[in-house]
Chain A
Amino acid sequence: MKIPFLMTALLLIAAPAHAMHISEGILPLPWAVAWYALAIPFVAMGIRQVNRMSRQDLSFKPLAGLMAAVVFIISCMPVPVPIAGTCSHPCGTGMAAILLGPFVSSLIAAIALLFQALFLSHGGLSTWGANVFSMGVVGSIAGYFTFKGLRAMGVPLAPAAFFAGLQADWATYLVTSVELASGIRGSEPFLPLLEKILLAFVPTQLPLGILEGAMTAGMVMLLYRKRPDILVTMGVMDAGEVKANG
């Protein structure tokens, strides 16, 4: 057991960010504004939902605080991928979307990305809208609907959470590629450039998506063991199902 702990400690050593957020100044102004315009309604809906839900349920605030901290940490945690020789990070938005819904998850991602852009040279203020849209909005929606869809088909909690995390991660990178290709292409055709960017992401993001899936499943199962009542309150599972599983 010592070796995995040693390796984990090595992995968690603080290091400058090697990330996937679109850096400051990469996108032309019209595109940057367009992504802001697309992201802001989701963030506003998130603020509205936080206000409403924190009045309804006392356990909502600590859960939202926990998710905000987790998303902030793991979305700036560089993970080396040996098969690609590069580093990138999971997003955490799939996990937050399962537990809090896609709008609150978008808001959490927006706050995390703002702090990272301001203080960690990670992403940028001009590209904040694009990064919020890919990681916060699309990541959350993909994770949330994958989870709900799989649960509706009778898939158990852990595998459903795993695939939700996986989908959230891969969807984020798909949209990041779309944002990048549309912003930088100039007169070049869009689809071939998108294909090139996507293929360049694949060696890093394929394994990282699996890691994200495992993290999401781990977090959901941990909450299920410790506070199944919260999962019921948040609509993640039915009260009857919790009782049936003991």
Chain B
Amino acid sequence: MDRETRKGQRAQGTRKIAKTLVYSFFLSVLTLCPLPFAFCHDAVCAETWPGVDESVVEKFAREHGRESREPLINTDQGDLLLFAFLLAGTAGGFAAGYFWRMLLEGKTKAQGSGKEKKK
């Protein structure tokens, strides 16, 4: 077995380990983060899980005499914000999927034109 092949195999092995580590870490974080939602009743109440904008930014600002103002378009009314987030998530998700597909189609096209040139 020559040096290049051994180097390639070693790189492949490292890549596999790195990939497994990244996946398992990501999966464990994703699993652990929402656990309290499933087991703790209080966790589903918004007040129990404040964002750092409330618990840090606005808290410190308030202590120093600065209050946050209403946004120009106030969607934070009832379920309107939920709707806005759902809409934004859907639009963002569709856009991400569309561009991802475009990227992969670009690869197929490039491979196709390569084959045609070979012929």
Contact = CB atoms under 8 A, between A and B. Distances in A.
Contact of B27 (A4, A73, A80, A185): A4
Nearest to A67: B99
B1 interface: no
Q: Is the interface of B mostly helix, strand, loop or mixed?
A: helix
Nearest to B102: A62
Interface string B70-111: 111111100001101110110011011011101110110010
Contact of B66 (A17, A26, A215, A245): A26
A178 interface: no
B86 to A, nearest CB: 4
Contacts of B76: 16, 121
B85 A11 contact: no
A245 B18 CA distance: 14
Given A14-B82, A78-B51, A184 B18 contact: no
Given A16-B82, A69-B96, A11 B52 contact: no
Contacts of B110: 229
Interface string A1-44: 00110011011001111111111111110000000000000000
Contacts of B56: 20, 197, 200-201, 204
A10 B95 contact: no
A121 B71 contact: yes
A118 interface: yes
Contact of B57 (A10, A20, A66, A196): A20
Contact of B15 (A58, A68, A118, A245): A245
Contact of A70 (B19, B59, B96, B102): B96
Interface string A115-148: 1011111001110000000000000000000000
Instruction: Tell which of B15, B25, B56 has the most Cβ of chain A within 10 Å.
Output: B56
A158 interface: yes
A54 B23 CA distance: 32
Interface of B: 7-8, 11-12, 14-15, 18-19, 22-23, 25-27, 29-38, 43, 46, 48-61, 64-76, 81-82, 84-86, 88-89, 92-93, 95-96, 98-100, 102-104, 106-107, 110
Interface of A: 3-4, 7-8, 10-11, 14-28, 58-59, 62-63, 65-66, 68-70, 72-73, 76, 78-82, 85-88, 115, 117-121, 124-126, 156, 158-159, 162, 176, 180, 183-186, 188, 193, 196-197, 200-201, 204-205, 207, 210-211, 214-215, 217-218, 221, 226-227, 229-230, 244-246
3 A-B pairs closest in CB distance: A18-B51, A25-B69, A23-B68
Given A23-B68, A156-B14, 10 more contacts: A8-B31, A15-B85, A23-B57, A82-B33, A86-B52, A118-B73, A121-B75, A158-B18, A200-B59, A227-B104
